[in-house]
Amino acid sequence: MPSRLACARAFAAALAAASLAPAARAGERFEACFESARAALTSGAAGAARTGFEVCLEVADPGPERWRALLGLALSRHAAGDLPLALASYHRFLDESVGTTLAGWPERRATAEAEAASLREKVLVDRAEVKLLSDTPGVAFTVDGAAPAPVQAVLPAWLYLAPGVHELALRADGHAPEIVRLELAAGQAVMTRRDLAPLPAAEPDPPDVGPDPVPDPVVRAVEPLPPPPVDYTPHVVIGGGVALLATGAVFTGLALADAGELEDLQDEPLTDAVRARDAKLRSRVDDYQTVSWICYGAGAVAVGVGIALAVTGGDDGGAPAVDVIGAPGGGLARFRVGF
């Protein structure tokens, strides 16, 4: 069996020859690259094989050539101990070859599905799975500021991330960028679709038609100013109270959601990760409940005070007035709201 050094040298020579071949021999370039990478994998040089199959992906045509390179990349990454990217390579192959009826490929898909399922159980022991999708053309993204591996750079992408908070930054030409923050736990599987909003088209500069003509002065009658408007304090106080009540409802919803997840954890095997998640959820539920009751109490007091001010204050028997200057026709619009 050839040594890893000899195999690496043969692979480098094959790549150099392939890069100099004319474009008409693209298929031969792929075969030379693929055979060198396969030889490296057979000899145990998993790192050289991985590099070779990545180069194969760059020169492969869509279809069986690219599928062979993806399967080789999955095997070489598995051999190198990089299980997350091996699993991502299997997912990429299964996504690109879906529905194929070419001879031999349905059987290869079945084998790849079984391998992916087995790898996924191992990977999700200490990682979370994120499937990122988008219908925006040409989307590129980073994970925590770093570019993904080539096999993950095309959407849909399968990412396997450590537990914690992660930031995904998406961008595409002609679209507004977007940042997605995810809080992940080991064993969690998340699918998120992000379609970026198109940027508005730039307005053309107006034609240069010279200086604007000076308009004739307009003489208008000066109307007397209306009396000063009434105090809006009751409306502000009531609005603030309603906002506090709504905030309390939001925190109640968060507490119920975490309580539901906490109940689901009771059926999980008792591991360190489960204990840590249980403690975190209980602490969050207590905090959310405390904040929600504070918001409910403060909101109720604010609404009550606002109603009392509205009933006892203002003119026309406590009916506050809203005066709007500049109503249609140059007049004055006045609205009365009673409580």
**How many domains in the chain?**
3
pTM of the entire structure? 0.53
Query: Is residue 101 a part of any domain in this protein?
Result: yes
Query: Is the same domain home to 108 and 183?
Result: no
Looking at residue 257, what is its pLDDT?
87
Are residue 93 and residue 137 in the same domain, yes or no?
no
Considering the domain architecture, whether residues 82 and 98 belong to the same structural domain is answered as yes
Contact 258, 284 (CB under 8 A): yes
Please compute the mean of the pLDDT values over residues 98-118 and round it to a whole number: 95
- The predicted pLDDT at position 324 comes to 41
Q: Examine the pLDDT at 328 and tell me if it is beyond 80.
A: no
Owning domain of residue 51:
1-123
300 assigned to some structural domain = yes
> Do residue 189 and residue 253 come from a single domain?
no
Residue 289 domain flag = yes
Same domain, 163 and 116: no
285 confidence band (pLDDT: 50, 70, 90): confident
Q: What is the pLDDT of residues 9-55, one digit of tens each?
A: 444 444 444 444 444 456 788 999 999 999 999 999 999 999 999 99
Query: Which pLDDT score is estimated for 221?
Result: 67
- Is 133 found in the same domain as 115? no
Residue 251 has pLDDT above 50, yes or no: yes
Residue 35, domain CATH: 1.25.40.10
Percent of the chain with pLDDT over 70: 79
pLDDT digits (tens, 9 = 90+) for 157-204: 999 999 999 999 999 999 999 999 999 999 999 999 999 999 998 777
